[in-house]
Amino acid sequence: MELEKFYYDNRIVRNFSIAAIVFGVVAFLVGLWIALELRYPQLNGPFSWLTFGRLRALHTNAAIFAFVGNSIFAGIYYSLQRLLKTRMASDLLSNIHFWGWQLIIVAAAITLPLGITTSKEYAELEWPIDIAIALIWVVFGVNMIWTILKRRERHLYVAIWFYLATFITIAVLHIFNSLALPVSMLKSYSVYSGVQDALVQWWYGHNAVAFFLTTPVLGLMYYFVPKAANRPVYSYRLSIIHFWALIFLYIWAGPHHLIYTSLPDWAQSLGTVFSIMLIFPSWGGMINGLLTLRGAWDKVRDSAVLKFFVVAITAYGMSTLEGPLLSTKTLNSIAHYTDWIPAHVHIGTLGWNGFMAFGMFYYLFPKMYRTGLYSEKLANVHFWLGTLGILFWALPMYISGFTQSLMWKQFNPDGTLVYSNFLDTVTQLFPFFFLRAVGGVLYLTGALIFVYNMIKTATGGKFLAQEEAEAAPLAPNYEAHKGDHWHRVIERKPVQFALWITIAILIGGVIEIIPTITVSSNIPTIASVKPYTPLELEGRDLYIREGCNACHSQMVRPFRSEVERYGEYSKAGEFVYDHPFLWGSKRTGPDLHRVGKKYQGDAGAVWHYNHMWDPQEMNKESIMPRYPWLFSLEGNDGTLNTSSTEAKLKAMQTLGVPYSDEYIANWQTELEAQASIIAEGLNKNPDIDVEPNEEIIALIAYLQRLGRDIEKNEVVQKQP
């Protein structure tokens, strides 16, 4: 067999690497900023786009899709070519993938601070960007699969299996979770509502962790750890077994994000069972990664690359043990909604994802720039700063989570709550908030040293864009036509064909099926639960715009401590008109599902009015920011935009919310009537002068409605 000469494309690897590093620093900076805002809410000043509620989504999206995403692509484009002994199939597709992905990130960086969001975690981007993501993702997949078909190495190394699973699963998850009915270019409503929306969201959300932050990074581990250690992986057989086990189990674990919520118990248990089973394949990966270094631990002492990998894999092992434990009801009842969850997540992202990426870049830059690493010493400094950063981040948050959870549940002997004021359980955590920011500073400092090291390495070397390589083509194993392209395609056709057909059917068919199903399921099981009024609906959209759900849940769990604190526990039937659901996942502030009852009538409206204007004036230690832009005061224009109210109501009607055509036609009368009642009530207070058309009125209308329908009559459980 003749050796064929070809060139690896290093340029695309370099581009993705640079993007990953730049956006990584941005993600860390935003993270540090919002960590400080959690302690000093005044930091955002008069700027709405600097608040925690809006920037939290920017931070998570930047970390997941910009930093880790670009790192993954860099690693995949580097390793795929070498494992398959071929250049990427199409430079054009590579470039479209690169620039398309960066444009999506820029679009996210603009829209999220402006409050353009769907509110669904890690899927906050609005529908036009979602479509762009789907298209670019397909470009990536086609390029990868095409390259695989062109390969010169028959065996697909285990890393490639991980890449393939990533592509297929993320495509499906993204499409299903993003199904929404557009109202305008920048606004849409999830086709699912309430419990159903929550289930789809966390089916997606957990698998985003599984198939975006885990499987591709495991693929990178299987390439870069053996390469850096110059040792074969500990057990190739184990890698095959744990790969198949992992991808079959992961997709079922999503409901563990909804334990003790209104999701039916059996679905919660399903999530728990699969989560616990996941320990085995996850630890298969950890063991395989760490044992690859057996007999080579002396190299770890000398190589910063391997140091990063060892801590990354250890962090992976720890968080994949912690995850299943948190999926049990006992631990979940303590940890959920507290700082324990961010601690768990950051062990995964800072430790596993971040350190895998850093190790990989320390390995890649000298390779691509044909030189040695500029400074091994600085890399070691980065390693220790990063490791300390992770510990300073996570350990205080573990303590903080435990502390707050126990305070929430603490009862006096007479049966009343010891800490009935939620704020008392927050002020207790201030020292830990401070330590977390210290952790962030350490991690960021390490990352900046890393950037310097990479720049010096790059400028000290000479970039090799086209790396020459030689390999024999695949032996055609069934026909005499040597290297005949057509036959090679036909040879694999049945499997490929079936695969593409399945995906096509899946997408097409289900897009039709889902709306029908969700519409018919919107029959309320609680008769007194009614759709939102136009004003409340607009208020709800303001709640979404400001990202209130980043800090406030709307899900009272059936615990004595929560019923005592908030009121009646939340029922599935109360959320049937909630497109999207707003249960939240973190209680930096108190749960709001029963806040309607707590602050009702004119007095309640005045409380909300004053509180949104200046929370610190009402509670000196409150860490909620001010929302002056909701008011037409001090030069602000807080006029509620009602230009798409009718379109919103119509969209809701299409989704199955029972608004009559007549009701929609009269939306304006309805809205203005409700607004003037609230405004009149507020204006009775001598210190308040408010117009009915201000945004704050709509928000108050929504907040006062929250969780109240259930009071009107007894719960009627209709049989479905």
**Residue 195 or 444 with smaller CB distance to another protein:** 195
Please say whether the dihedral angle defined by the alpha carbons of residues 430, 435, 436 and 440, taken in this order, is positive or negative.
Answer: positive
- 221 is an interface residue for another protein by CB under 8 A: no
In the chain, DSSP finds a helix count (H) and a strand count (E) of: 30, 4
State the binding string over 162-201 for another protein (x if CB under 8 A, else -): --xx--xx--x---x---------------x--xx--xx-
Please tell me what DSSP assigns to residue 694: B
83 binds another protein (CB under 8 A): yes
For the bound state, the minimum distance from the C-beta of residue 518 to another protein, rounded and expressed in Å, comes to 7
User: Among candidates 564, 559, 304, which has minimal Cα distance to 446?
Assistant: 304
Is residue 309 helix, strand or coil? helix
Select the span of 127-135, 154-162, 588-596, 635-643 touching another protein (CB under 8 A): 154-162
Residue pair 279/324 in contact (Cβ under 8 Å)? The answer is yes
Q: Of the listed pieces 122-130, 514-522, 638-646, 707-715, which binds another protein according to CB under 8 A?
A: 514-522
Smallest distance from another protein to CB 659, Å: 22
Residue 8's closest CA among 64, 75, 78, 99?
78
Cβ–Cβ < 8 Å for 596, 703:
yes
Residue among 24, 13, 14 nearest 447 (CA)? 24
Nearer to another protein, 517 or 665 (CB): 517
* φ and ψ at residue 547, rounded to 5 degrees: 65, 35
Task: List residues bridging with 190 in a β-sheet.
Answer: 180
Q: How far is the CB of 128 from another protein (least distance, A)?
A: 24
- Round to whole Å and give the CA distance between 72 and 78: 10
Binding another protein by CB under 8 A: which of 502, 639, 666, 713? 502
| Cα distance between residue 598 and residue 72, in whole Å | 48
Residue 220 found at the interface with another protein (CB under 8 A):
no
* Least spacing, CB of residue 613 vs another protein, in Å: 40
C-beta of residue 76 within 8 angstroms of C-beta of residue 12? no
C-alpha span between 75 and 66 (Å, rounded): 14
- Name the pairing type of β-strands 187-190 and 466-471: unpaired
H or E element in which residue 15 lies: helix 10-39
The correct pick among 244, 384, 411, 497 for binding another protein (CB under 8 A) is 244
**Of these, 416, 520, 643, 719, which contacts another protein (CB under 8 A)?**
520
CA–centroid distance for 458 within its chain:
32
Contact 245, 279 (CB under 8 A): no
Rounded Cα distance, 383 and 199, in Å? 39
Check binding of 510 to another protein (CB under 8 A).
yes
Cα Dmax for the chain: 94
For residue 487, state whether it binds another protein (rule: CB under 8 A): no
Stretch that binds another protein, among 97-105, 123-131, 399-407, 464-472 (CB under 8 A): 464-472
**Is residue 514 at the binding interface for another protein, with CB under 8 A as the rule?**
yes
Residue 469 sits in the site that holds another protein (CB under 8 A): yes
156 near another protein, rule: CB under 8 A:
yes
- For the window 352-391, what string marks contact with another protein as x by the rule CB under 8 A? --------------xx--xxxx--x---------------
Decide if residue 247 touches another protein (CB under 8 A): yes
Alpha-carbon 630 to chain mean position: 27
- Which listed range, 48-56, 509-517, 548-556, 628-636, lies at the site for another protein (CB under 8 A)? 509-517
* Single residue of 82, 456, 598, 650 touching another protein by CB under 8 A: 82
Where does this chain bind another protein (CB under 8 A)? 5, 82-83, 153-158, 161, 164-165, 168-169, 172, 176, 192, 195-196, 199-200, 203, 223, 226-227, 230-233, 236-237, 239-240, 244, 247-248, 251-252, 264, 267, 299, 302-303, 305, 366-367, 370-373, 376, 467-470, 495, 498-499, 502-503, 506, 510, 513-514, 517-518, 520-521
